[in-house]
Chain A
């Protein structure tokens, strides 16, 4: 057990981090994520309020839908990253990081009074949240439905359903990179029953350790590592993270919002980088990239990364993650019974460092070879996520 933002959380259950990671990729992992902050925002002008303080475009949402979003500061840095669920036109659920929940709530509360009739409530204690992730999760969850439906099969979709005698909101969201993934919001009194029923159905409980290896393999950012202040002491631009582009909208319909001008400059910088122009990098001096070590060892957070003699960045998160060896059956990939392990992570590097560049991580005065890669996990098609090895 470990203290995590004031919550006592298991690093691992009986299976251990490696087994829990592998079980999630092949079967289904069950995560207690009730430590995360949950705020309910209601009122006719709730959308206007959220448009102003979050970076994504709420007009892209319809009831029963959700989106990844960011609470940016005026400099284009990240106060927090979050998920916004539209329960109804004037009823929203915002899920934030546990470590920032207090700060986020105070920040939003200090601005909400300017929006007539909008209420902001911290419902983290009363509404529990669990995540069920992996290829078998849909089958396991479906058998527990007493009423209602699972969300339509597309990422971010929501539904209402009754499970274990209680009403639940079910979302196709998650933090593992699994194509089949659910997060379930249910009254705190009912979550114990649901948890046990999902375990009985065959899900494996997963602690914080594997939650981290899974998100890292999927290249997903974590506040305090890929967002916030970087290893170099400077604030990391929101758009340094490739996935952040899905959370930031410059659509005219969204209008002005906190951080927009700085984020626009970061987006322009990314466009220049994509065109091979690195003449002006001050708006976004570093970008986040996935890497794999090709030497044996582990490169953990703050390890300095070199291109020959020149330091070009630092590791922001690094670990060893297990994977299932894959094989191809005709046109379909499947997971075999063989497993391997590899050292992977995310690094904050100069934008001109190209993909597939062979760099060196300085681990305890030893130089370990590493390669920047587009991804460590391929979840772009099908129902399973495949480890990319080569």
Chain B
């Protein structure tokens, strides 16, 4: 699946999705495909408070390192340590098992301000 219809998106290719009263955050299948072989993930500490748009981690492929940005602000309550151990696994399920962190949002409405799946698709087709 290249785009998850239920997720919201940033232009920098992070997705965010409601998971109970938390918000799961990951990187889109498109971004992962573009990066190629992923070799290293740097994720935030649990407990860290992020502002919307703040850099929360780094994903490294063989060829480059890319910063990742928080789609919504809030407290990091969980990070996907198994993805850190096997970063190449993100390829298999970018919107499911490939989640990177879960946030307790400061303002859940921030999610609604992001691109929906249709807007992200248009963005990929026209700008990315």
Binding site for B on A (CB under 8 A): 11-12, 16-18, 209, 213, 296-298, 300, 319-321, 341, 343, 364
Contact = CB atoms under 8 A, between A and B. Distances in A.
A302 to B, nearest CB: 12
Contacts of A296: 40
Nearest to A321: B62
A16 B37 contact: yes
Given A298-B60, A320-B60, A18 B65 contact: no
A107 B19 CA distance: 64
Given A11-B63, A209-B62, A320-B62, A298 B36 contact: no
Contacts of A364: 42, 58
Contacts of A16: 36-37
A17 B60 contact: no
Interface in B55-72: 58, 60-63, 65
Nearest to A341: B39
B62 A213 contact: yes
Contact of A18 (B42, B58, B62): B62
Interface string B24-51: 0000000000001101101000000000
Given A18-B62, A298-B65, 8 more contacts: A11-B63, A16-B36, A213-B62, A298-B60, A319-B62, A319-B63, A343-B39, A364-B58
B30 to A, nearest CB: 16
Contacts of B37: 16-18
28 contacts: A11-B36, A12-B36, A16-B36, A17-B36, A17-B37, A17-B62, A17-B63, A209-B36, A209-B62, A209-B63, A213-B62, A297-B42, A298-B39, A298-B40, A298-B60, A298-B65, A300-B65, A319-B62, A319-B63, A320-B39, A320-B40, A320-B62, A321-B62, A341-B39, A343-B39, A343-B40, A364-B42, A364-B58
Among B36, B39, B40, B62, max chain A CB count under 10 A is at: B62
B78 to A, nearest CB: 20
B85 to A, nearest CB: 9
B43 to A, nearest CB: 12
Nearest to B36: A16
Interface of B: 36-37, 39-40, 42, 58, 60-63, 65
Nearest to A21: B62
Contacts of A18: 37, 62
Contacts of A12: 36
A213 B60 CA distance: 15
Contacts of B40: 296-298, 320, 343
Contacts of B60: 297-298, 320
A321 B40 CA distance: 12
Nearest to A297: B40
Contacts of A300: 65
B84 to A, nearest CB: 9
Contacts of A341: 39
A333 B65 CA distance: 35
Contacts of B39: 298, 320, 341, 343
Contacts of A17: 36-37, 61-63
Contacts of A213: 62
Contacts of B36: 11-12, 16-17, 209
Contacts of B58: 364
Among B36, B42, B61, B63, max chain A CB count under 10 A is at: B63
A46 to B, nearest CB: 40
Contacts of A11: 36, 63
Nearest to A18: B37
Contacts of B65: 298, 300
B31 to A, nearest CB: 15
A298 B63 CA distance: 10
A213 B39 CA distance: 13
**6 shortest A-B CB distances, which residue pairs?**
A320-B39, A18-B37, A17-B62, A298-B60, A16-B37, A209-B63
B91 to A, nearest CB: 10
A137 to B, nearest CB: 23
A298 B37 CA distance: 14
A262 B39 CA distance: 42
Contacts of B63: 11, 17, 209, 319
